[in-house]
Amino acid sequence: MTTILQTESTPRGFVEKTALERYVAPAKPSLVGLSRAALAEALGTIGVPATQRKMRVQQLWNWIYIRGVTRFADMSSVSKELRAALEAHFTLDRPEVVAEQVSVDGTRKWLLRLPGEHAAERPHEVECVYIPDAGRATLCVSSQVGCTLTCSFCHTGTQRLVRNLTASEIVGQVMVARDRLGDWPGGTSPEGAIVPTDGGRFVTNVVMMGMGEPLYNFEAVRDALLVVQDGDGIGISKRRITLSTSGVVPNIARAGSEIGTMLAISLHAVNDDLRNELVPLNRKYPIAALLDACRNYPGVSNARRITFEYVMLKGVNDSLDDAKKLVRLLKGIPAKINLIPFNPWPGSRYECSDWEQIEKFSEHIFNAGYSSPVRTPRGRDILAACGQLKSATEKLSARERMALRAMAMTD
Ligand code: SAH
Ligand code: SF4
């Protein structure tokens, strides 16, 4: 049993919470989501000779990620003995789906249950949201149960429970989406499902914008996203994967070189005083340091712009002056700006900006040369009915928020 979440504290002590939960590996771990190296190692533990491992890994990779099998018994090209050994020690489990909601516009949400530290504990739950659009479909994926950070407008930040997801649980969210959509050879999609109709894949894009701060779960997120990118498997290119961070500066360059996906920064304010309040991590990594990390993000260019997320909070950060400062601040950085309507939750101290104000703000940004789409909410009908999935009001707003985030990234 290892504590997998390391938190840093600051002299003022309020930037981050301490993680409370631990991950305890199941007796039979899942092979889904392991890197090729970890898979080879797992095969070693059940006696597969070193000389055969690479070939076996390739075989398993194909069965898991191209065929989508969920039982070792279906791996017909694998010898009977090896299948039996695999069966005895491992599974091909994905996170357990405890509920699914489908919107008339095709948005789907899955509530996933993950094992807790011990049986008596309340199970850990995260959500995963699928947003289909013409010619593309985006999956919004979680990286942690809860979050150690405490952004004042974000409901996840108020949750006490925090645990890092494993790489398997992160890749598992993509697998769940493909399972539920019938996106494997010979699969059938559920009746009426809205999926891209170009004959290609059903999940075309991934955004790490669900629960959690992905750069505080660096290794698992990296390993998972490398599996998702792998051209012999799921094969979603790194240009179609976006990692969103609240600004963990030391890990931004690492993300660029070790993961290589698109980057989104939760900026939300144009001066340090306000950002300290909205995104307390700013006290540790202020705006100037954050923007420096963006300028130096490996691979950044006009073709690979950084997305700046900006949540619209009435009377807080939504003035025309803020818009002007935002444009000035981002000068010289290949950037896109994503305005996100604030999604209120019970007890939140903010309101969403008025629509006219969002339009004014957006217009200024547009005139400065940025596209700044503000999206119509997707999946409204299922958001309204979200109490059916979980009764706690806190969870109710979590799902709404997540859909909004993912929606904001579908341009
Ligand atoms: N922890 C990472 C990724 C998850 S949050 C991050 O903060 O970037 C994904 C996005 O949703 C972030 O831009 C976050 O600021 C935004 N967000 C959080 N709560 C929100 C709310 N109530 N309304 C609108 N956007 C919200
Ligand atoms: Fe964590 Fe992101 Fe929410 Fe901030 S906005 S508390 S970093 S999930």
Contacts for 308 with CB less than 8 Å, ≥ 6 apart: 264, 265, 267, 326, 330, 335, 336, 337, 338
Q: Which residues line ligand 2 (CB under 6 A)?
A: 147, 149-151, 154, 156-157, 212-213, 246, 266
Q: How many CB atoms lie within 10 A of CB 239?
A: 14
Whose Cα sits closest to atom 8 in ligand 1?
245
pLDDT over 80 at 196, yes or no: yes
Cα 29 to middle of ligand 2, angstroms: 29
pLDDT over 70 at 78, yes or no: yes
Residue 18: what pLDDT? Answer: 65
Residues 55-67 have pLDDT tens digits of 999 999 999 999 9
Question: 141 CB less than 6 Å from ligand 1?
Answer: no
Mean pLDDT, the chain, as a whole number?
Answer: 86
**Helix %, strand %, coil % for the chain, to 5?**
35, 15, 45
Ligand 1, atom nearest to 154 Cα: 19
Question: 405 CB less than 6 Å from ligand 1?
Answer: yes
Higher-pLDDT residue of 24, 168: 168
pLDDT bracket for residue 165 (50, 70, 90): very high
Question: 127 CB less than 6 Å from ligand 1?
Answer: no
Whose Cα sits closest to atom 22 in ligand 1?
343
Q: Which of 127, 169, 213, 309 is catalytic?
A: 127
Cα 401 to middle of ligand 1, angstroms: 8
Residue 1: what pLDDT? Answer: 32
Ligand with an atom nearest the CA of residue 311: 1
Residues 354-377 have pLDDT tens digits of 999 999 999 999 999 987 666 555
* Dist. CA 386–CA 396, nearest whole Å: 6
Measuring CA to CA, how many Å separate 227 from each of 48, 61, 152, 230, 236? 22, 10, 33, 5, 9
Contacts for 192 with CB less than 8 Å, ≥ 6 apart: none
Question: φ and ψ at 80, to 5 degrees?
Answer: -55, -40
Burial of 228 (0-12, 13-18, 19+ CB in 10 A): buried
pLDDT bracket for residue 160 (50, 70, 90): confident
* Dist. CA 6–CA 166, nearest whole Å: 14
Residues 286-337 have pLDDT tens digits of 999 999 999 999 999 998 999 999 999 999 999 999 999 999 999 999 999 9
Is position 154 annotated as part of the catalytic site?
no
Note whether 193 and 106 are within 8 A (CB). Answer: yes
Ligand 1, atom nearest to 348 Cα: 22
Higher-pLDDT residue of 407, 232: 232
Q: Coil, strand, or helix at residue 302? A: coil
Ligand 1, atom nearest to 341 Cα: 24
